[in-house]
């Protein structure tokens, strides 16, 4: 089994980028700074989460992506850039490889009711992907869970990044040659810059 401490020490040596998702807040970016006896020190952008905050982290080390849960033991820790933007994490748990979806990708459509629909596994597939719209194909016999003009959410992510969700609507539904072709228009993006980066990474990975 891979040793989390060894992996985190390697991440600290190379100042690996990390994404931190505090419970009930937006994703923050940062770097792994050092591993201490008391826990893991990260530097984060913006105001560091307060002590007692539970969070999930994503990072990529030596070509492999990992995710884990932790709690903030101390906020405002000094970090090498001489700022007080560091946090000390403890109670690290739930350590695992970040491998959701095919090849570590996250691509899901979330209808208003029912469970998520994978766009990388199963019958429904992503045909094209752009920041302003997604094209999705499904067999004509697939249950009509998305209706023209209806709203939905889309979840996307790549192995070394925290997944995010965006709002969308079914702008067009076309039936042809035994298939349904959905045109999902993007309607709400909380962090456009981060969304654009993930879309670009997905397009490069999928060859779109």
Helix or strand run (H / E) with residue 198: helix 192-206
Domain ranges of the chain: 4-97, 102-206
Query: Could you give the angle at the alpha carbon of 169 between the alpha carbons of 164 and 170, nearest 5°?
Result: 125
| Residue range 4-97, CATH number | 2.40.10.220
Q: Which residues contact residue 47 at a Cβ distance below 8 angstroms, ignoring those fewer than 6 apart?
A: none
Whole-structure pTM value: 0.62
CA distances to 4, 86, 120, 151 from 48, in Å: 23, 7, 35, 34
pLDDT tens, N- to C-terminus, the chain (208 residues):
478 889 999 999 998 888 888 876 777 888 999 999 889 999 988 888 999 999 888 888 877 778 888 999 999 888 876 666 789 999 898 887 765 444 468 899 998 887 888 898 888 889 899 999 999 998 888 887 888 999 999 999 887 677 889 999 999 998 877 888 899 999 999 889 889 989 998 888 887 7
Q: What is the pLDDT of residues 90-136, one digit of tens each?
A: 989 888 776 544 446 889 999 888 788 889 888 888 989 999 999 99
In CATH terms, the superfamily for domain 102-206 is: predicted glycosyltransferase like domains (2.40.10.220)
Surface-to-core class of residue 18, CB atoms within 10 Å of its CB (0-12 exposed, 13-18 middle, 19+ buried):
buried
Could you tell me whether strands 179-188 and 133-139 are parallel, antiparallel, or unpaired per DSSP bridges? antiparallel
Please tell me the distance from the alpha carbon of residue 53 to that of residue 48, in angstroms, as a whole number. 10
Two domains, one topology: 4-97 and 102-206: yes
Query: Could you give the angle at the alpha carbon of 130 between the alpha carbons of 127 and 135, nearest 5°?
Result: 30
Query: Dihedral of CA 94/99/101/107: which sign?
Result: positive
């Amino acid at each position: 089994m891979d040793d989390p401490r060894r992996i985190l020490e390697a991440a600290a040596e190379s100042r690996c980028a990390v994404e931190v998702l505090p419970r009930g807040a937006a994703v923050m970016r940062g770097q792994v700074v050092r591993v201490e006896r008391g826990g893991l020190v990260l530097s984060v952008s913006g105001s560091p989460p307060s002590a007692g905050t539970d969070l999930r982290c994503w990072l990529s080390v030596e070509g492999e992506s990992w995710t884990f849960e932790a709690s903030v033991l101390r906020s405002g820790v000094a970090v090498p850039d001489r700022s007080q933007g560091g946090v000390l994490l403890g109670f690290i748990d739930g350590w695992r490889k970040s491998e959701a979806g095919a090849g570590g990708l996250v691509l899901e459509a979330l209808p208003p009711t029912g469970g998520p629909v994978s766009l990388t596994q199963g019958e429904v597939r992503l045909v094209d992907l752009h920041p302003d719209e997604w094209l999705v194909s499904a067999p004509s016999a697939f249950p009509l869970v998305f209706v023209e003009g209806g709203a939905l959410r889309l979840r996307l992510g790549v192995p070394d990044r925290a997944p995010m969700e965006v709002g969308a609507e079914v702008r067009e539904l076309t039936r042809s040659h035994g298939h349904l072709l959905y045109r999902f228009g993007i309607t709400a993006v909380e962090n456009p810059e981060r969304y654009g980066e993930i879309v670009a990474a997905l397009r490069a990975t999928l060859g779109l």
